[in-house]
Structure 1
């Protein structure tokens, strides 16, 4: 097999709610844009909290994005000249995202994703453990515990709902340290 001229790389940005995952993803993607690389940005269709057409951080940073519910939908877009693909809320995708990312890497595309590494019960969230194992680079971010001000690693759910997937913002979640995180 002939060696490709470019090799794709895979980066995962993870952490708890309010740790700045989306903000960091936007920062990384904007640097690629400044470098005159062609980028495509996707986010899971369940996250329309701030916008349907843009990826938005809690602090207001924005970048144009495409809503998808299935990672196979990435391949419906023209990827011929794409250098970098960004995907937010990666934890909401099925395990097939792993194979789809591998396909993008084989095409020489740099893939940067962001998502929650743990659910509100401190368990690996969806496909994240597999994605973390696949990654060439991992950036794990922390937030500030709303109870004591120490580093927060966990997302405290404030509403009583037993569904693993419950999209919300500050009305539904707080970042907490190990001492102050409570599993309901």
Structure 2
């Protein structure tokens, strides 16, 4: 379990900012962990601003809600640089579903950390094809702390590290829940991808 380093007042000369990354597959508890850290910061009387991409309206237009239905109030943001508008008078900045933000997010998080903020970022590190997703891999490389969470494979019950898409749609960003995705281990993910590939090849031959 992640235990926070001591956080001085952001305006103190002793305070050094940092970036924390919470990543993993879908259903691995990323948002739950972000909410846990936000709640601990609040108990410690630290001022927190919580933000999420405006595109993510699966559970609520504003609140961040985990799969376990725990929630915290947040501010929906259209683009990464807008985060700076809302974070001037706080100590902790928490950002959920960060993979949906533009590449400017790396610069924004770095700027915040350089100015003494504690920055907590949660997001998917791989897309539905098992490839690096959005800005998360780059953020992981500049972060002080990286926590990679794992789900349970829906097929075999092993450790799940991949988000397998259950529907035949190829766009990278497809918002969905258990009707669109399931967590899988490496072996079951690869089996599923091979089955999808064969299915596509058959469909192409039929349409020729």
TM-score by length of 1: 0.95
How far did 1:79 drift? 1.3
Contact 2:50 2:74 in 1 (8 A): yes
Structure number with the higher helix fraction is 2
- Measured on the aligned residues, the alpha-carbon RMSD in Å equals 1.2
1:50 aligns with 2:69: no
Query: Displacement of 1:53 after TM fit?
Result: 2.0
Picking from 60, 63, 66, the partner of 2:69 is 60
The structure-2 alpha-carbon separation of the partners of 1:34 and 1:121, relative to structure 1 and needing over 3 Å to count, comes to same
Q: In the alignment, is residue 133 of structure 1 matched against residue 141 of structure 2?
A: yes
**Which residue, 146, 157, 163 being the options, matches 1:149?**
157
Are 1:117 and 1:125, in contact at CA under 8 Å, matched by a contact in 2? yes
- Structure 2 residue ranges without an equivalent (≥5): 1-11, 197-208
- After the TM superposition, which residues 34-183 of structure 1 pair with which residues of structure 2 at under 5 Å, given as runs? 34-77=43-86, 79-80=88-89, 82-181=90-189, 182-183=192-193
* TM-aligned CA deviation for residue 146 of structure 1: 0.6
Q: Which has the higher strand share?
A: 1
- Shift in Å, 1:78: 5.0
Poorly superposed stretches of 4+, deviation over 6 Å: none
Select the structure with the greater relative contact order (CA < 8 A; seq sep ≥ 6): 1
Larger Rg, first or second structure (1 or 2): 2
Shift of 1:130: 0.5
Q: Secondary structure of the residue that 1:163 maps to in structure 2? A: coil
| C-alpha contact 2:87 2:93 (8 A) present in aligned 1 | no
TM-score with structure 2 length normalisation? 0.84
Instruction: Give the Cα separation in 2 of the matches to 1:78 and 1:9.
Output: 15
Distance 2:14 2:155 in 1: 51
What is the aligned residue count? 181
Q: 8 Å contact 1:153–1:176 — kept in the other structure? A: yes
